[in-house]
Amino acid sequence: MRLTFTFLFSIIVFVNSTFAENDLTILIVHDNDNTPVMTDSMRNAVTAAGYNYVDYDAVANGAPTVDDLTPYELVIWATGKDGSSRFWNGDLPNDGIKSYLDNGGMLWLEGLDFMYDLVGSAPDTFRTGDFVYDYLGVEIYAAQSYANDGSQGLPMMVVEDGNGICTTDTVRWRWSTMWYADAVVPTSNAQSIYKMGPSDYAFADTSCMVYNEKGDAKILSAFIRWDGFATYNLGVELTTQILDYFNQYSTATTIDVSSIEITSSTDFTISENNGTLQLGVTVLPADATISTVSWSIKDGSVPATISESGLLTASGVDNGNGVVTVIALADDGSGIKDSVDVTISNQTLGGGFSVLLVNDDLRDYTKHLDIDTALNEGGFTYKIYDIADSKEVPDYEYLSNFDFVIWDMARDGVNVNFWDVSDSSAIQCNSDLKEYADNGGTVWALGRDFMYDIWKGLNTVNADGDSVIAAFDAGDFVYDYLGISYYVGQTHLNEPASSAFDGVEQLDITEENDITTIDPIEWTYSSVYYAEIIDVTENAVPLYYMGPATYDFSLFYAMVYNQKDDAKFITSTFNPSDIDTQDNLNLYVKEVLDYFEALPTSTNQIAKSEDFELSTYPNPTANKTYINYTLPSNADVKLAVYDVTGKLVFNEDLGFKLAGKQNYELSVTNFEEGIYFYQLTAGNSTKAQRLIVVK
């Protein structure tokens, strides 16, 4: 069993954004397990509105205490669309936020589900003495859009005239309606800021944004998701109006940080593979209003990570030895910082086939853990690079440590880091990943929605009602590298109205597939929505059809393998976590990796193929098989056979062969039952295929 490494990158809890002129001190509490990237919409809008903020990660660290909250004049508590908010402690608010408000704090509470999280399904009523009534200013939790309006969703919200905070009139969404927005009735002391609309909407008389005051505390509750506005500028406009209102109450009596010194209880070195070093910081003056810091690593340092608490972790990869420059930056916007060099040594992945699992799903960032389990069960040496946590993309120097990269986009369809869209006329994968592939790396791109992320605008319906699909040509990255000629659409979304299917029920193996054996691939659900439907180029190898054979898109594919020069790409256009059992997912992942591990190639030794035709019959076989190949020109030919561990079990020089059709009879009577890979080399070109021996 090979040793397993996991490498989890941690998001920094306290992150200071670009500095602004307004004095209001703001803490953004990230409290959204479901889709953490949604909090970025709030962060970006606050920055664009001209305000500083400090970020607190409640997902990683639990609810902030009153001591965490007290230094800030305004707390923005962003729950997004999560249904397990840390804002509550059972039937009550957590002690930290209540004490903060009782001391005169200001709160902006945002999200879809924080009311549902407290009381469950609407309706519900509150009275004097209830936190929701006294502090949030809500008397009735009336309904949720979509859940209680006949599956319609909230079309818009309409401003309450003269509310004193917001002036933007009709607010629409980037979708036709917003699902699960909460409809509430304010108390007599509270002010409705926005009501649901239009006038004929089922809950048009209810509010979806309410302002209330309790003593010196000021609370704005927005029962919507802040990433849902029709345009980015609309979100900035509303954010600016709200922050400007709170800013008038800013006292601006802050004490800035004057100096920072990074400390350690030992010397500044790490000499253990995957070792750690806990760093501390001394901040002066001791009574600085905001004394927290943001930890980061300077560009150009060898690979390493640092947590929000200053825990530096060595990378455990071969090029992770050298100097790491760590920076501590004051969170108060003063710009005061300190840096220290840490020397790291004795880092190595060890020998053998190494795998990197990249989590690029910013919607549900735990789905990659199913693949983590499969890698662990398969006994692979691997690490995890979590973009969802680190907010960074692995660079070429880091990628180059690995023989195989799994780039998992699971089920996210928004701004995945797989793509480089800096040139809309020449979209490709990100430059570091492309460099890795071009230098002989193997990449497995998988997930649903990652084609939709870029080409959704091309998959529309024309005036005749026909689907308009995205076509790719030679010279396009998708064509040349991924081996995809057409992006046809998505299951469920693009099925005709007359279809007997709702989503794809299974995937059926192709005759060309010599990588995996599961047939068919089935799901944990009766069918899968939003799997990408593709057609493949002539040079690519299709691996799975959409199925069953009666499915509307059964002539198209959901998995393809392609090679361009030294670059190898496998593309699975569905979320492997949807496979029916963990055992089948384990087998699926293991078969793919075993296939490539058995090839006598590495990231620096990728043999060119596709220069001659190759086939084997019978396969599976018990006694012998015929290897048929067609040479485009005269060449010296060699045959090698490897078992699944990569051990060479047969090797023969077949001699000089003339151009044209050739065949070779291979006896397998002395082979044990199992899966083998044979490699045929003709001149400077090599091709490999799977051979199954049965007894």
CATH code of the domain in which 277 resides: 2.60.40.1080
pLDDT at 350 over 60: yes
Give the pLDDT score at 318.
84
The reply to whether 203 and 269 lie within a common domain is: no
Mean pLDDT of all residues belonging to the chain = 87
pLDDT of residue 194: 98
Query: With bands split at pLDDT 50, 70 and 90, how would you rate the model's confidence at 10?
Result: very low
pLDDT for res 414: 66
Report pLDDT for 1.
Answer: 30
Is the model more confident about 612 or about 571?
A: 571
For residue 289, the model assigns a pLDDT of 81
Q: Is residue 14 part of a domain?
A: no
Give the tens place of pLDDT for each residue, 170-184. Answer: 999 988 999 999 999
Distance CA 323, CA 314 (A): 11
Contacts of residue 670, defined as CB under 8 A and 6 or more positions apart, other chains included, come to none
Contacts of 370 (CB under 8 A, 6+ apart): 576, 577, 582, 585
CATH number at residue 639: 2.60.40.2550
- From residue 188, how far is each of 158, 185, 192, 196, 211 by CA, in Å? 20, 9, 10, 18, 11
Q: Please provide residue 570's backbone torsions phi and psi, each rounded to the nearest 5 degrees.
A: -110, 135
Please check whether residue 99 lies inside any domain of the structure. Answer: yes
For range 344-348, the mean pLDDT: 90
Task: Indicate whether 529 and 651 sit together in one domain.
Answer: no
Q: What is the mean pLDDT of residues 629-654?
A: 82
Q: 351-367 as b/e, with b when 16 or more CB fall inside 10 Å?
A: eebbbbbbbbbbbbbeb
CATH number at residue 46: 3.40.50.880
Say what the pLDDT of residue 463 is.
Answer: 43
Entry pTM: 0.64
Residues 453, 389 within the same domain? yes
For residue 391, is pLDDT > 80? no
In which band, very low, low, confident or very high, does the pLDDT at 82 lie, cut at 50, 70 and 90?
Answer: low
What confidence score (pLDDT) does residue 11 get? 29
Kindly state the average pLDDT of the residues 122-140: 95
Identify whether residues 126 and 189 lie together within a single domain: yes
Evaluate whether residue 551 is within a structural domain: yes
If asked whether residues 304 and 225 sit together in one domain, one would say no
Task: List CB contacts of 117: < 8 A, sequence separation 6 or more.
Answer: 79, 82, 83, 84, 85, 87, 88
Domains identified in the chain, total number = 4
- Angle, nearest 10°, between helix axes 368-377 and 582-598? 60
Answer yes or no: is 216 within a domain.
yes
Final residue of a structural domain among 568, 598, 628: 598
533 within a domain of the structure (yes/no)? yes
Picking from 51, 79, 32, 38, the residue whose alpha carbon sits closest to that of residue 174 is 38
* Strand order across the 293-297 sheet: 269-270, 337-344, 322-330, 293-297
Residue 229 and residue 276 in one domain: no
What does the pLDDT read at residue 607?
34
Q: Of 598, 631, 666, which marks where a domain is finished?
A: 598
528 and 667 inside one domain: no
Stretch 411-430: mean pLDDT: 84
Does 17 fall in a domain? Answer: no
Question: Would you place residue 6 in the very low, low, confident or very high pLDDT band (cuts 50, 70, 90)?
Answer: very low
Q: Tell me what the mean pLDDT of segment 520-548 comes to.
A: 94
| pLDDT cut 90: percent of the chain above it | 59
Q: Are residues 49 and 130 in the same domain?
A: yes
pLDDT for the residue 12: 29
Q: Judge whether residue 469 has pLDDT over 80.
A: no
Mean pLDDT for the stretch of residues 263-289: 93
Q: Is pLDDT larger for residue 12 or for residue 207? A: 207
* 679 and 573 share one domain: no
Residue 329 within any structural domain of the chain:
yes
Contacting residues for 228 by C-beta, under 8 A, at least 6 apart: 173, 174, 175, 178
Is the pLDDT reported for residue 646 higher than 90? Answer: no
Q: Per-residue pLDDT for 368 more than 50?
A: yes
Give the pLDDT score at 89: 86
Single residue among 247, 276, 303 that ends a domain in this structure: 247
Residues in Cβ contact with 199 at an 8 Å cutoff, skipping those fewer than 6 apart = none
Q: Is 207 exposed, middle or buried (0-12, 13-18, 19+ CB in 10 A)?
A: buried
* Residue 365, pLDDT score: 65
Instruction: Taking residues 339-353, report their average pLDDT.
Output: 89
Judge whether residue 625 has pLDDT over 50.
yes
Looking at residue 324, its pLDDT comes to 94
How confident is residue 610, by pLDDT bands cut at 50, 70 and 90? very low
Closest CA to 259 of 289, 284, 225, 291: 284
pLDDT number for residue 601: 47
Residue-number span of the structural domain to which 617 is assigned: 613-693
| 15, part of any domain | no
Greater model confidence, 190 or 17: 190
* Mean pLDDT within 228-249: 94
pLDDT, average across residues 63-82: 91
Question: Are residues 565 and 593 part of one domain?
Answer: yes
* Lowest-pLDDT choice from 31-45, 87-101, 463-477, 563-577: 463-477
Question: Do both 415 and 537 map to the same domain?
Answer: yes
320/233 same-domain check: no
Q: Rounded to whole angstroms, what are the CA distances from 337 to 181, 253, 258, 329?
A: 42, 22, 9, 4
Burial of 129 (0-12, 13-18, 19+ CB in 10 A): exposed
